[in-house]
Amino acid sequence: MKEINDVIQTKFAVSKKIDESWDFRKANTKELTHCFHSYPAMMIPQVARRIIKNYGKEGDVLFDPYCGTGTSLVEANIKNISAIGTDLNPLARLIATAKTTKINSDLLNSEINNFINYSFKSNFQNKKSYSKIIPDVTNIDYWFSKGTQEKLGTILGYIENLGNDSIKNFFKVAFSETVRDVSFVKSGEFKMVRTKNFCHEEDKDVFGIMSSKLERNKLGLEDFSAVCANGTKSAVYGFDTVVGIPNFIDSNSVDIVVTSPPYGDSRTTVAYGQYSRLANEWLGYETANQVDNILMGGRKRKYDHKFDSEILNDAILKIQSKDIQRARDVISFYEDYESSIKNVSKLIKKGGFACYVVGNRTVKGVTIPTDELTAEIFESCGFVHLETIVRNIPSKRMPYRNSPSNIKGKTSSTMKHEYIVVCKKL
Ligand SMILES: C[S@@+](CC[C@H](N)C(=O)[O-])C[C@H]1O[C@@H](n2cnc3c(N)ncnc32)[C@H](O)[C@@H]1O
């Protein structure tokens, strides 16, 4: 049987060619508040910026149904566009909120200086006036040395005593990245893999790492505040568009959606929950251990679901013939995806745009054309497909690698391109 890529001849397939001007190979992706915190499969700010330039305008309302760390929200705000984002991962919501919240710079400077003075004393004179908070982190001794736990607990106690919520969030974001850096998680891994070079007695410079992140993020926030129009805001929520839209957001109220959905379920693609677990637990978020189960594709669906899309049914049949469980993962994800798009499409005004940055994942050798499916589902909701831009993903930013054969050490990079699918509501 031919691979699905060879047989697709839908109208959406016609005009796809790579546009290298969207690669942004040399771009600084860490400017403004984009420097705040790393996260798996982040959108390139320049991609969001160009989409907004092409399809948005001042005074619009932008919505991102999978906002992650808020890349599109930041980019909207600097173009005088108010933004709404939602994400089920509490860590992502924290980062997105902090990245889009201006703080008076004198206040921020003085709070950072206070922390640096305090941490200097804690480090060298052992003066600890705040009670330590060491929460119930699963297998804490496996992931952190005792000394590191004490220091993180001291910082958390300090943060909890900060009076202002915006400052608290700003500090929590730096704390979250610090947690990751001082843990025994292998650097450069999104999954929870312990480094081989750890030492249980090793004393990490926890306060120094935290302080330098605060300083770095302060500069990013100053740059953001300088270019962000007054009165332009972002609101970040935790609702699930797969299930529905809360009634505080009106139908037909959004001008543009700019988003990058997950590529598939967390178990077989990017494990956002696993990546965030330690930080989510340190920060006391109740759903810390549930995140990957509640994200798209996390709920298992029936084996035999039929979609309206023949392209998708065809791909699933091919996967089923090789691995019925993997086919079920795919069904579970795309049922959620379809339902999310149907709900999101109701929010968009007539004449408004849906801009989805998607990846076409390969399962058991079958490439699923998510870009075409996205266009197809939006067309079934009263939209017209305008264009699909294909961009290279520079190799160092590959969204994920997997082990298709489940042979240890044998990985394959599964995606080389990203597709920016643009549809307009009629
Ligand atoms: C590709 S990432 C988005 C990255 C984001 N554009 C950025 O630059 O940080 C996809 C996000 O979708 C979120 N997600 C997955 N399923 C979701 C759902 N049903 N509702 C809301 N968010 C969801 C994940 O937690 C993850 O943060």
Q: Distance, CA 95 to ligand 1 centroid (Å)?
A: 12
Which residue out of 87, 287, 344 has the highest number of ligand 1 atoms within 8 Å of its CB and is therefore the one to mutate? 87
Q: Looking at domain 4-102+228-261+296-425, which CATH architecture does it have?
A: 3-Layer(aba) Sandwich (3.40)
Query: Which atom of ligand 1 is the closest one to the Cα of 298?
Result: 16
Q: Write the CB contacts of 331 (distance below 8 Å, at least 6 apart in sequence).
A: 301, 302, 303, 305, 316
Name residues contacting ligand 1 (CB within 6 A): 39, 41-43, 66, 68-69, 71, 86-89, 92, 240-242, 260, 262, 272, 295-296
**What is the CA(41)–ligand 1 centre distance, in A?**
9
Pairing between β-strand 82-86 and β-strand 61-64 as defined by DSSP bridges: parallel
On the CB side of 196, how many CA atoms lie within 13 Å of its CA? 0
CA of 70 to the centre of ligand 1 (A): 10
* Cβ partners under 8 Å of residue 192, min gap 6: 185, 274, 277, 278
Residue whose CA lies nearest to ligand 1 atom number 10: 262
From 295, 347, 400, the mutation candidate for ligand 1 (largest count of ligand atoms within 8 A of CB) is 295
Q: What confidence score (pLDDT) does residue 115 get?
A: 94
Residue 300, pLDDT score: 83
Could you state, in order of their start, the residue ranges of all structural domains in the chain? 4-102+228-261+296-425, 105-226
Residue nearest to atom 1 of ligand 1 (CA): 262
Which residue's entry shows tokens 């994200």? Answer: 295
Rounded distance between C-alpha atoms, residue 142 and residue 47, angstroms: 39
Radius of gyration over every alpha carbon of the chain, rounded to an integer in angstroms: 22
Confidence at residue 219, expressed as pLDDT on a 0 to 100 scale: 98
**Separation of 68 CA from ligand 1 center, angstroms?**
5
Q: Which three-class secondary structure state does DSSP give residue 382?
A: coil
The CA 271 to ligand 1 mean position distance, Å, reads 11
- pTM score: 0.93
Q: Would you give the end-to-end CA distance of the chain in angstroms?
A: 38
From first to last of its 426 residues, what are the pLDDT tens digits of the chain?
333 343 344 666 656 789 999 999 999 999 999 999 999 999 999 999 999 999 999 999 999 999 999 999 999 999 999 999 999 999 999 999 999 999 999 999 999 999 999 886 655 555 556 789 999 999 999 999 999 999 999 999 999 999 899 999 999 999 999 999 999 999 888 888 898 877 776 778 999 999 999 999 999 999 999 999 788 899 999 999 999 999 999 999 999 999 999 999 888 888 999 999 999 999 999 888 899 999 999 988 887 888 999 999 999 999 999 999 999 999 999 999 999 999 999 999 999 999 999 999 999 999 999 999 999 999 999 999 999 999 998 765 445 544 443 344 444 446 889 999 999 999
Burial 218-237 (b: 16+ CB within 10 A, else e): bebbbbbbeebeeebbbebe
Indicate the helix (H) or strand (E) that contains 421. Answer: strand 417-425
Q: Whose CA is nearest to atom 21 of ligand 1?
A: 87
Ligand 1, pocket-test mutation among 29, 30, 88, 243, most atoms within 8 A of CB: 88
Ligand 1: atom nearest CA of 266 is 15
**CA proximity to 228, closest of 355, 86, 108, 58:** 58
